Structure 1
């Protein structure tokens, strides 16, 4: 149900106590309309139909495994009174969404897009969206985010719907979360915690799990919550006794201080582990450079179809799911142009509006794959209501990665089979270089492959050499990494004419007959 404060069954709270004022009535009507549309779709990523796969997607064994681990409805470990819990595991079941907008039609449209995305995030995390509340407010209340009147109204909505969680469409300060929880009497989760929970569910590789845990601990550290004397674990000096003297007696290290220290130690260990994994990826990058294999990075907003596009280009068979942040662990696959040149395609983690800075920092080592690329395919969901907003959100994150500004970018407008042609045309006029594709139907994929082939760096050195038959390995490398114009088998060896990189040309000249 959509909560309408002026309904007789839901009396207006002090925050909306001016029903005769046209501006307040209009703002409430706008907010109600936005919430009604969001709830009608209730999570764009998961309620618009099941995931549709193509022959390029393979058996999708990872998806079957993930589906088997979905949360069971009705199970809960939550206590009735949230204040009894010292630290809580995030568990989303039945949620109410909460957002703010400063006023005006444009701000309301932006709030609707953001709230729809929040609903999709909540459902991806395994919850059921029951209701929503949108407030017109210039800036959040420092104590309860909504203000006392609207917070009391939210408590009524929570009680009426039987929700056990409130999800707020921003990152809350620790004091705001505590203040709101004290009023609504259920768990309050902000957008950042929700995204971190999805990442924790979907990470599979050792590095991915370490990166997510580090981000979670960075988020948790300032939000630890304890109560009074019960938190004291040690007694400093000789409390209650004699002989220690004035100024030496105290409660000692409290439990919350002890836990903070443990968290900091764990974070330091995770940073060391992630740093230790970096050389392996760097070695692979150097190996590609040594063999002159260019890398094409696929980046973009979450659920834009990056993995589907990777499968369409390479038959990689990586996991494809109609959900936000389905792919966390980067996937690198080899591909080949029509003229035989080898390159790699790297699928990266998706971005989202207001991506938690903890995640950007934790995944920085993975995202460096983009800065090292010869070409960036920026995949955009052309069927989304606000593709320009998604493009800007992705570029905001990419700007923090060194080297990205020098990488040529092509905006790939995906899902063309279900997109509005007017929206596609609008984005094409806005962006310098675009290509329109549908990873599902195959439309435009051939044109994208041709564009990639044209953009990849070409070998710089022209060769005409005869390679002894004993060095077939060099002939193979020319086939793999060079542009071979002609190949002729002579009595003394294989004659090769074409273009290769400088390092391979030097090796060929040393062994040439």
Structure 2
């Protein structure tokens, strides 16, 4: 069987290999890693027939894992009729090719598997373009492994580079050309999104972005708050394309809630780059709500993964040493899935949360703690509000409506030529108001 002829499809049988080695940078429970890797495979309909968690003393440049471990994997491939071997690590093109030769089956790594999931799940045209761009970027450096059949294309004289080189270069040029076209399309989509965001900023409504590790329960929480039916399943990457809905919070008549793609450890850099335009929704939010599966054995490591990605997006403040802490977007944490905790663990979680002002403990599944979460979100959105005086002419009805909807009107009096208001506003809203209606401060 030629591994290149095998497609990653639903119903395919696979053997899962989860290697772990010192210096890998993962402070994770191996069982939890196995469960997550299995979940990634199941998310695309792959049937995992056997699992090999491997603790490596050292990695091998040619195959990542040792020859003895390869020998132990072979029987599971033949006995289960497996077409795939999934390695839960990043493989080089050479390691992937050598493993396919040694195992006699198609091999995909963690990056390739996540790309397959995203390719199946992306529902919007922009989402599909983002996934295609990431996939092309991933494949660009691996073309050589797909062209061993090009011996016949040697042809003519003077081909010093060896068999197939001309075809490989032609394909690379086609990939680069296609990537350039996709980037132009995504740039157009990004500009459209910027215009939409500008319109939302003119509107008197705060924007709240939900972030979190995949399968932490963001979409279930989103549905609880909005009454929507966004896909929310016990499945990794159930949500890819961002969804926005209106919600009401205590003391806030209207806010925009955005559900975003879940993060994951070792998220492929190709995907982070491709989805940056979508993730920009997070960078312009008034409040970031980090939803965590607080009962997961790797909850702290998952938290660190999400924070690292938020850092890369610049939402935790400037990354170049310039600017100040005010540039960071306000964040709170929602500790989800408390219903899955044992009584003892539940007590520990509630005790930890009680010592913090930026945490609400909930079960998005049962509804427990939802009102406390709503109150925390509202309190954070209004905590930084400042009192300011504003003068509005009688003909500035739109500005008056904006202030009533966005701020807290403390006093209002009619004076010569208009109204003088004392209003409590978020600093960001005050800046927006001054841009939209300059010279109106009293």
Shorter chain as denominator, the TM-score bin is: 0.7 to 0.9
Instruction: Give the equivalent residue in structure 2 for 1:176.
Output: 95
**Equivalent pair of 2:27/2:301 in contact (CA under 8 Å):** no
**Equivalent pair of 1:379/1:414 in contact (CA under 8 Å):** yes
Question: 1:308-336 CA distances to partner (integer Å, 9 max, x unpaired)?
Answer: 11122222332212211011111122223
Instruction: Give the equivalent residue in structure 1 for 2:9.
Output: 91
Question: 1:249-270 CA distances to partner (integer Å, 9 max, x unpaired)?
Answer: 9979622221111111111111
Instruction: Give the equivalent residue in structure 1 for 2:83.
Output: 164
Q: How many residues align?
A: 415
Tell me how far apart the structure 2 counterparts of residues 190 and 250 of structure 1 sit (CA, whole Å).
Answer: 28
Q: TM-score, normalised on structure 2?
A: 0.83
Tell me how far apart the structure 1 counterparts of residues 218 and 281 of structure 2 sit (CA, whole Å).
Answer: 15
Query: Tell me, what secondary structure is at the counterpart of 1:317?
Result: coil
CA, structure 1 residues 509+352, in 2 after alignment: closer, same or farther (shift >3 Å)?
closer
Is residue 140 of structure 2 the alignment partner of residue 230 of structure 1? no
Instruction: Give the equivalent residue in structure 2 for 1:366.
Output: 278
Question: 1:300-359 CA distances to partner (integer Å, 9 max, x unpaired)?
Answer: 000111111112222233221221101111112222332244322221110111111111
Query: Tell me, what secondary structure is at the counterpart of 1:307?
Result: helix
Instruction: Give the equivalent residue in structure 2 for 1:454.
Output: 379
Tell me how far apart the structure 2 counterparts of residues 335 and 264 of structure 1 sit (CA, whole Å).
Answer: 43
Question: 1:223-258 CA distances to partner (integer Å, 9 max, x unpaired)?
Answer: 1224557356585xxx36xxxxx8999979622221
Q: How far off is 1:135 after superposition?
A: 2.4
Q: TM-score, normalised on structure 1?
A: 0.72
Instruction: Give the equivalent residue in structure 2 for 1:73.
Output: none
Tell me how far apart the structure 2 counterparts of residues 298 and 108 of structure 1 sit (CA, whole Å).
Answer: 25
CA, structure 1 residues 355+109, in 2 after alignment: closer, same or farther (shift >3 Å)?
closer
Match among 100, 104, 108 for residue 189 of structure 1: 108
**Equivalent pair of 1:99/1:115 in contact (CA under 8 Å):** yes
Matches within 5 A, 1:202-217: 202-217=121-136
Tell me how far apart the structure 2 counterparts of residues 252 and 162 of structure 1 sit (CA, whole Å).
Answer: 32
**Equivalent pair of 1:203/1:212 in contact (CA under 8 Å):** yes
CA, structure 1 residues 98+496, in 2 after alignment: closer, same or farther (shift >3 Å)?
same
Structure of larger gyration radius: 1
Tell me how far apart the structure 2 counterparts of residues 185 and 212 of structure 1 sit (CA, whole Å).
Answer: 29
Match among 302, 322, 328 for residue 390 of structure 1: 302
Unaligned runs of 5+ in 2: 318-327
**Equivalent pair of 1:459/1:483 in contact (CA under 8 Å):** no
Unaligned runs of 5+ in 1: 1-80, 241-245
Match among 201, 205, 210 for residue 289 of structure 1: 201
CA, structure 1 residues 147+499, in 2 after alignment: closer, same or farther (shift >3 Å)?
closer
Greater alpha carbon shift after TM alignment, 350-359 vs 454-463 = 454-463
Tell me how far apart the structure 1 counterparts of residues 55 and 184 of structure 2 sit (CA, whole Å).
Answer: 45
Matches within 5 A, 1:330-479: 330-405=242-317, 406-419=328-341, 420-421=345-346, 424-425=349-350, 428=353, 433-456=358-381, 457-458=384-385, 460-462=387-389, 467=394, 473-479=398-404
CA, structure 1 residues 178+296, in 2 after alignment: closer, same or farther (shift >3 Å)?
same
Q: Which has a greater percent of strand?
A: 2
CA, structure 1 residues 278+465, in 2 after alignment: closer, same or farther (shift >3 Å)?
closer
CA, structure 1 residues 231+292, in 2 after alignment: closer, same or farther (shift >3 Å)?
farther
Tell me how far apart the structure 1 counterparts of residues 167 and 102 of structure 2 sit (CA, whole Å).
Answer: 26
Tell me how far apart the structure 2 counterparts of residues 295 and 416 of structure 1 sit (CA, whole Å).
Answer: 26
Tell me how far apart the structure 1 counterparts of residues 252 and 55 of structure 2 sit (CA, whole Å).
Answer: 58
**Equivalent pair of 1:102/1:136 in contact (CA under 8 Å):** yes
Is residue 140 of structure 2 the alignment partner of residue 221 of structure 1? yes
CA, structure 1 residues 220+407, in 2 after alignment: closer, same or farther (shift >3 Å)?
same
